[in-house]
Structure 1
Amino acid sequence: MPTGAAAQPESLASQDFAVGPGGAQIVVSGVRQAYRGDFAISEIPQSIDVIASETLAENSIIRLNDALDLNASVARQNTLGGLWDSFAIRGFAGDENIPTGYLVNGFNGGRGFGGERDTAGIARIEVLKGPAAALLGRGEPGGTVNLVTKQAQIGDTFGTAGVQFGSFHRLRSEADVNISITEGLSVRLIGYAEDGDTFRDTVDEYRWGFLPSIGVAIGPDTRLTYDLEKTRVEVPFDRGIVVLNGDFDTVPRDRYLGEPGDGDHVARAEGHSLRLQHDFGNSWSLLLGGSIRDTLLTGTSSDPELAVSRQPIFTDGRSLSRQRRSRVYDSQQVVVRGEVSGEFSTGGLIHRILIGADHDEFDNLQDFRRVRPPSVGNNPSDEAAYVIDILDPVYGRFPLPTPLPQNNRLDQQSSTGFFVQDQIELTDRLQVRLGARYDDFTLRTENYLTDVDSERSDSRVSPQFGVVYEISPAFSLYAAYGEGFRANIGTDVTGRIFDPEVSKSMEAGAKLTLLDGALTGIFTLYQLDKNNVLASDINNPGFSVAIGEARSRGVELDLDGRLPGDVDVLLSYAYVDAESRSSVLDPNFSFVIEPGDPLINIPDHTFNMQASKTFQLGGREAKLGGGVQYVGKRLGATGTDFFLPDHTLARLFGEVELLEGVTLFGTIANLFDADWYANSYSQLWVQPGAPRTATLGFRAGF
């Protein structure tokens, strides 16, 4: 499929119907997306970018964090040693102590501890940017990500299977089979398994997943869909490398500074969702759904000590003292929702209305333990300081210290929301969107170590306004304003629950549709402001500190589609100016933040572009393409002057049909073997990016 055409569908409602003789509707076969209504992209006063599964496949992208690199508005954040997804949209990342939240088919699905999300089973990734909180609620003002999964297709049987061989002895197999059992019942079975080393010394990885879907057509207008998620990840905890005095060659990028004897961290996830869709006719429909997701992360690690007073490496340049840590992170999330959408007219005006409600319960248990090295001033032995020589590491040199209780806390969040949206067609060219959401939440924290229980409740109405004006079929202008409201989960080290995060967002832009719809684009200007922003408390892992107000403003350009000559292109550029707007002295004197200080891991300029062309080779279809990504310098540690350097990465990809239904494909990432750094928490916790990496595979379908 053409990358551009697949990546930017005109409608995001996912309404596909089987059609009988004379055009009569037979059965609902597609699945609508929640909070969406029935709108073409050009009608929505919002910036939306869509990354299709075809784009992921041709780049051999198998991790969500890697997929989001294709959109310049998304920046990588601290991933807890590669064990969860963490990213910022338009400069705002949310709570650093839990994974970044995202939606799966409209359900909150990203806050647990199930490991990095695999792209298997994803039909498309929607990057929903801007002030949409009036409907979605509880999200970051910069936007959110919605993963649309591959659903069982009613009345059809097809399948694909493939195998990949990659650098560092990586082997991956994947299958996707849709089976039509009866005219109204289909089952889709998706699974993957992956095993291999990584570019990091002594660090290997094993993961598997089973993602089936069942679709049932209950009559011609009703569909029931069930999805299961069952995944497991096993990988050693890895804090990356150290950078002393700004020298990023302090150690090689493959040097592991943990302890192999700690074994793997294991992340497990199990999720169930059930959705009912009914079309009443005359443009009215009903969506009901519920989901439950359990995750568990367990393991032990040896992490570099961050406190200068306990760290001898700042004296001799090679002796790295470490903490030994253990984690049991257990979460459960339950979500139910319902909405009605439809269309009616009043006084010559056309209204498209969306009304709904949702309820979300999230239980987050963190049992965190650690043992720290003593103060350097006490002249401890290497064993007492649990030292590793970064220039000549010897693993297993000392007995493994036993971590002691540090934080054992249960956070329970309960949220209920009601939302309404009305998009009014005032003329053939002018549409206005009015919306509001009411949120009510209760957050309770039980600290099992201090026996201190805390509770907080709050509520708020978040309005939304948007306007779209079509100058011509190929060009339209839009503007939007919205307010957001999100509970800050957890407490500071004293047990105090933080005030909720409140935000205001404004954006304006232009949308283009060129070459008879083959090429689409959007240009956006925005500004986001929010209060009660949190940052991680460096001296107290698992706790946060309030850093007050923050602001992000910037410019975006996204182009997607097909040029003359059948060249598929994808281009994304973002300029982001994200900074603190408050003066903060951390209570533990860990750092000082001044107004104007940049936010951590947010580059000022980001650019991604790729192009590909399909052609005939020996009578068979083939494709060849390439891309380039630029990421500007970023602050590497809050309240410091430590910055990660900018980097430019190039990639190549291609495929050729060997036999009918059998394809050979290959990719080369980081073509010129550049040194780059994905994210950082401090100069002693820097995550290096992968060197040149190749993938070769076969894919067969029927």
Structure 2
Amino acid sequence: MPIQFLQRGRAASACSRRFRHIAFALPLAAGLACLPAEAQTGDALHHPEEGDNAITVTGVRQSYRGDFAMREIPQAITQIDAETLQQNNILRLTDALDMNASVVRQNTLGGLWDSFAVRGFAGDENMPSGYLVNGFNAGRGFGGQRDVAGIERVDVLKGPSAALMGRGEPGGTINLVTKQAEIGRTFGSGALQFGSYDRFRVDADANLALTGGITARLIGYYEKGDTFRDHVEQKRWGFLPSIGIALGEKTRLTYDFEWTRVEVPFDRGIVVLDNDFHTVPRSRFLGEPGDGDTVARATSHQLRLEHQFNDDWSLLVGASHRDTLLTGFSSDAETVASRQTLYRDGHSLSRQRRSRRYDAEHNVARAEIAGSFETGALRHRVLIGGDFDHFRYDNYFTRFRPPLLSSSPSDQAAYVIDIDDPAYGRYPLPATTVTTNRLDSQRSFGFYVQDQIELTDRLQIRVGGRYDNLTLEVENRLLAVPSRFNDRKFSRFSPQAGIVYALSKPISLYAAYGQGYRANVGADFHNAIFDPETSESIEVGAKLMALGGALTGTLSVYQLTKDNVLASDANNPGFSVAIGKARSRGAELDINGHLSGDVDVMLSYAYTDAEARSRVLDPNYSFQINPGDPLINIPRHNLNMQVAKHFTIGDREAQLGAGLQYVGKRSGETGTDFMLPAHRLVRLFGNIQLIDEVELFGTVSNLFNAEWYASSYAAMWVQPGTPRTATVGLRARF
């Protein structure tokens, strides 16, 4: 059956599935609105912090955190709040994570998924990076790069927290706190903006109090425009409502729905020949416009119930379901030298043609009890919880590949494009054949417990652990029965421990140790299921809170080790190979605060030394990975800093700010000496109130139009960074 027909049939199936999601979501929302509820003055949960500036957390209690002040937690945690996102007019999660130096960009599959490393470790290069949503493991799948619409705050939870998180990377976990319906209030905002390359965007956020105890928050966005890349236009939209119901003064039910879509051509970026980053202009598209858009869709539901038994004990129960689907064709540079004409004549680029259908379904259920009690003179604050996680990934991949140069192929046979003078559509689009048709399934359940004990007014210790039970199944439909089926089971207990000492009122010291356990997705080219990743982490640091809580900071030093690390199998796209052990160690400094003179400051610096610790020979490419080789896309030095000044013009409020990002040089290809150069990016932002509740805002990114490179997979697949861009818009509130 032709692949085109298969995609049409599967697209129709996906369309039917999306309508089922909508049919489920709308009656559920209506049914929730009919539930009886007592009036409640608000849904804010107040957790007292040190100093005069207390922090009020709106919405549900912080999962995995318990009732702790930030300085009591033996772990480095930083937050990228809504104000920072709005100041810089950040629209994607990838750009938001740039604000923290501990997080760096990785290969994003041509800009079609989120991929990042925390403290040097990124996970599987063939999969998008996972993250939490409101404490739930709900970020897996292929829904395109996450838009920040609907995000209230991004938590970067660094360090050895896997004893609770379970299946995260040892370097840290990203938790997205979404904008929750705020019960009993009606307010909203809307923005309209225009930017470089004819980009247009509109978004809206309306919190509507329907009754005394029921509130709906409706969030949506639409974006369309060109990009700096030739022949690459994009369209994105999303609808992300939230319904909050007060089931009495101590109980809250929250339902969140997500429905998003991204349409953009698959774009592998530029080629770099002989380390010349000016081989082609950064705007040159080396794919094929005739391939059309790659489309990524996501539909999800999340339901959470929180109950406060009394001042000491609370319960959080919830479940989530997420479907994602990514489909499309692409034409990409061939990466193997023995098939690449470009290495012979310097201008004829041999290309592959591929199609993808990545269909994933993710179900999560979890429950957590948090509370405190005393045994004699000791105070205990405990977290006890469990979760179930089922991830199902249907991978259908086809490919055309140019023949070996030894066969003297014609330009048409090698699917060549001239990088100096590209003629798109010169040859018929090559037919592809199936290389991957596989169903991966992961089922896991885990239980965790944590107890933080106050030994004295100054000294606290934390002990805990997590038990995980994993079942991994792979069905390779290209193999004969029964060899096509494979399954394995694993289980493990992962301990954690920490200590916090209040040296003085503004300064506390901490240390932490933890182990982690995470299943690797899929199997290698021979259908062998990978062993899970295991990790060990140690961290020490100091936390500062000064100026009555207006200025906070964390200084930390860490070392992480990881076994059973995967890397992409370059000779078999869509598959991975095990490369053994890796280690990352480094130091970080994060400072955030509000200074006298109405000035906001933010500083984030990270030194990261991440390297392979095993010796691996790739038989297809004849390159050697040696202990000490740097991990791909991880810079040693990374810095992001920002200053913003609030002032008035007449009686109108205004703000002006500037930021600087520095990213050091880093490896651009595993097992070779190809390096991406360092870059410095300067940004400006500002806003002014035109009339009451209406403001004009603007941003300029990459002010000095620096040439930079976001990430790389190989010298043939390098993602150039965006040139100078400007945005201007209007935002209104009610």
TM-score w.r.t. length of structure 2: 0.92
Whether 2:497 is the aligned partner of 1:471: answer no
2:141 equivalent among 84, 87, 112:
112
Q: Conserved in 1, the CA contact under 8 Å of 2:366 and 2:388?
A: yes
Correspondence for 1:573 among 591, 601, 605: 605
Mapped to 2, the partners of 1:609 and 1:54 lie a distance apart of: 15
What is the deviation of 1:619? 1.5
Residue pairs, 1:369-388, within 5 angstroms:
369-388=398-417
Q: Of 682, 688, 699, which residue of structure 2 is paired with 1:650?
A: 682
5 Å matches for 1:521-670? 521-589=553-621, 591-670=623-702
State which of 467, 473, 481 in structure 2 corresponds to 1:438.
467
Equivalent pair of 2:395/2:439 in contact (CA under 8 Å): yes
Q: Could you say what the CA RMSD is over the residues aligned between the two structures, in angstroms?
A: 1.1
> Aligned equivalents of 2:444 and 2:586: distance in 1?
31
- Native 8 Å contact 1:29 1:217 kept in 2: no
2:479 aligned with 1:450, yes or no? yes
- State the alpha-carbon separation in 1 of the partners of residues 74 and 192 from structure 2: 41
Structure 2: gaps (5+ residues): 1-42, 48-56
CA contact (8 A) 1:29 1:154 kept: no
| Separation in structure 2 between the aligned mates of residue 493 and residue 391 of structure 1, nearest angstrom | 36
Offset at residue 110 of structure 1 (A)? 2.1
User: Given the alignment, which residue of 242, 246, 268 partners 2:297?
Assistant: 268
> Which residue number corresponds to residue 36 of structure 2?
none
Separation (CA, whole Å) in 2 of partners of 1:534 and 1:653: 40
Secondary structure of 1:472's counterpart equals coil
8 Å Cα contact 2:524-2:576 kept in structure 1: yes
Equivalent position of 1:3 in the other structure: none
Question: 3-state DSSP class of the match of 2:548?
Answer: coil
1:106 CA displacement: 1.1
Contact 1:482-1:506 within 8 A present in 2 as well: yes
Q: How far is the alpha carbon of 1:200 from its aligned partner?
A: 0.1
Q: Deviations over 1:383-426 (max 9, x none)?
A: 11000000000000000011100101110000100000000000
Q: Shift of residue 587 of structure 1?
A: 4.2
* 1:252-272 Cα distance to aligned partner (Å, 9 max, x none): 000000000000000000000
Whole-angstrom distance in 1 between the partners of 2:597 and 2:722? 34
Matched residue SS, 2:97: helix
Decide whether the 8 Å contact of 2:598 with 2:647 is kept in 1.
Answer: no
**Is the Cα contact below 8 Å between 1:163 and 1:173 reproduced in 2?**
yes
**Which residue is equivalent to 1:340?**
369
1:76 maps to which of 79, 86, 105: 105
- Aligned partner (choices 495, 507, 515) of residue 483 of structure 1: 515
- Which of 307, 313, 317 is the equivalent residue of 1:278? 307
**1:8-157 to 2 correspondences below 5 Å:** 16=45, 30-157=59-186
1:559-591 per-position Cα deviation (integer Å, ceiling 9, x unaligned): 000122221000000000000001001243453
Residue 543 of structure 1 and its aligned partner are, at CA, apart by 0.5
| 1:413 partnered with 2:459 | no
Q: In the TM superposition, what is the alpha-carbon distance from 1:29 to its structure 2 partner?
A: 7.0
Residue deviations 1:109-152 (CA, integer Å, cap 9, x gap): 22200000000010000000000001111110000100000000
Residues 594 and 49 of structure 1, relative CA distance in 2, 3 Å threshold: same
Q: Could you tell me whether the CA contact under 8 Å between 1:349 and 1:426 is conserved in 2? A: yes
- CA shift, 1:16, in A, is 2.3
The question of whether the paired residues in 2 share the 8 Å contact of 1:411 and 1:444 is answered with yes
Superposed, which structure 2 residues align to 1:174-323 within 5 Å? 174-323=203-352
The amino acid of 1:606's aligned partner reads N
Q: Which has the higher mean CA deviation after the structures are superposed, 578-587 or 549-558? A: 578-587
Offset of residue 450 of structure 1? 1.3
1:352-363 aligned within 5 A: 352-363=381-392
Residue 452 of structure 2 is aligned to residue 423 of structure 1: yes
Partner Cα distance (2:58, 2:307) in 1? 11
Between 585-594 and 643-652, the greater mean CA deviation after superposition: 585-594
For the residue of structure 2 that corresponds to 1:66, the secondary structure is helix
Question: Could you list the per-position Cα deviations for residues 331-376 of structure 1 after superposition, in whole angstroms to 9, with x for gaps in the alignment?
Answer: 0000000011100000110000110100000001110000101111
AA aligned opposite 2:312: S
2:342 and 2:350 in contact (8 A); partners too = yes
AA matched with 2:626: E
Number of paired residues?
A: 680
Distance in 1, matches of 2:544 and 2:557, equals 15
Query: Residue type matched to 1:71 in 2?
Result: N
2:138 touches 2:364 (CA, 8 Å); kept in 1? no
User: What is the Cα deviation at residue 487 of structure 1?
Assistant: 0.8
The amino acid across from 1:596 in the alignment is G
- Say if 1:574 and 1:606, in contact at 8 Å, map to a contact too: yes
- Which whole-Å CA distance do the structure 1 matches of 2:211 and 2:312 have between them? 28
2 CA distance for matches of 1:496 and 1:539?
17
Please say if residues 663 and 699 of structure 1, whose CA atoms lie closer than 8 Å, have aligned partners that are also in contact: yes
Kindly state the Cα deviation for residue 178 of structure 1 after the two structures are TM-superposed: 0.2
SS in 2 for 1:309: helix
Give the partner amino acid of 2:495.
Answer: P
Deviation at 1:15, TM superposition (A): 5.1
3-state SS of paired residue (1:315): helix
Per-residue deviation, 1:30 = 2.6
Over 3 Å counting, the alpha-carbon distance change for 1:480 and 1:457 in structure 2 is same
1:496 counterpart = 2:528: yes
Aligned to 2:197: 168
* Residue identity opposite 1:266 in structure 2: V
**Take 1:635 and 1:56, find their aligned partners in 2: how far apart are those partners?**
29
Query: Given that residues 332 and 362 in structure 1 are in contact (C-alpha distance below 8 angstroms), is that contact kept between their aligned partners in structure 2?
Result: yes
Offset at 1:457?
Answer: 0.6
C-alpha contact (below 8 Å) 1:539/1:590 kept by paired residues: no
Secondary structure at 1:578's aligned position in 2? strand
Cα distance in 2, alignment partners of residues 112 and 121 from structure 1: 19
CA drift of 1:618 comes to: 2.3
Deviation at 1:463, TM superposition (A): 0.3
Q: Which amino acid aligns with 1:405?
A: V
Shift of 1:523: 0.2
SS state at 1:135 partner: helix
For 1:145 and 1:609, the matched residues in 2 are separated by 20
Name the amino acid aligned to 2:298. Answer: A
- Contact 1:532/1:546, CA 8 A, preserved across alignment: yes
The 8 Å contact of residues 545 and 586 in structure 1, kept in 2 or not, is answered as no
Identity %: 66
What is residue 8 of structure 1 aligned with on the other side? none
Contact 2:77-2:158 within 8 A present in 1 as well:
yes
**Structure 2: which amino acid aligns with 1:210?**
F
Counterpart of 1:25 in structure 2 is none
Cα distance in structure 2, aligned partners of 1:168 and 1:29: 37
Give the conservation status (yes or no) of the 8 Å contact 1:163–1:697. yes
Letter in 1 for 2:276: D
- Secondary structure (helix, strand or coil) at the match of 1:377 reads helix
Using the alignment, how far apart are the partners of 1:44 and 1:108 within structure 2?
Answer: 21
1:29–1:223 contact (8 Å) kept in structure 2: no
> Is residue 424 of structure 2 the alignment partner of residue 395 of structure 1?
yes
Match for 2:491: what amino acid?
A: S
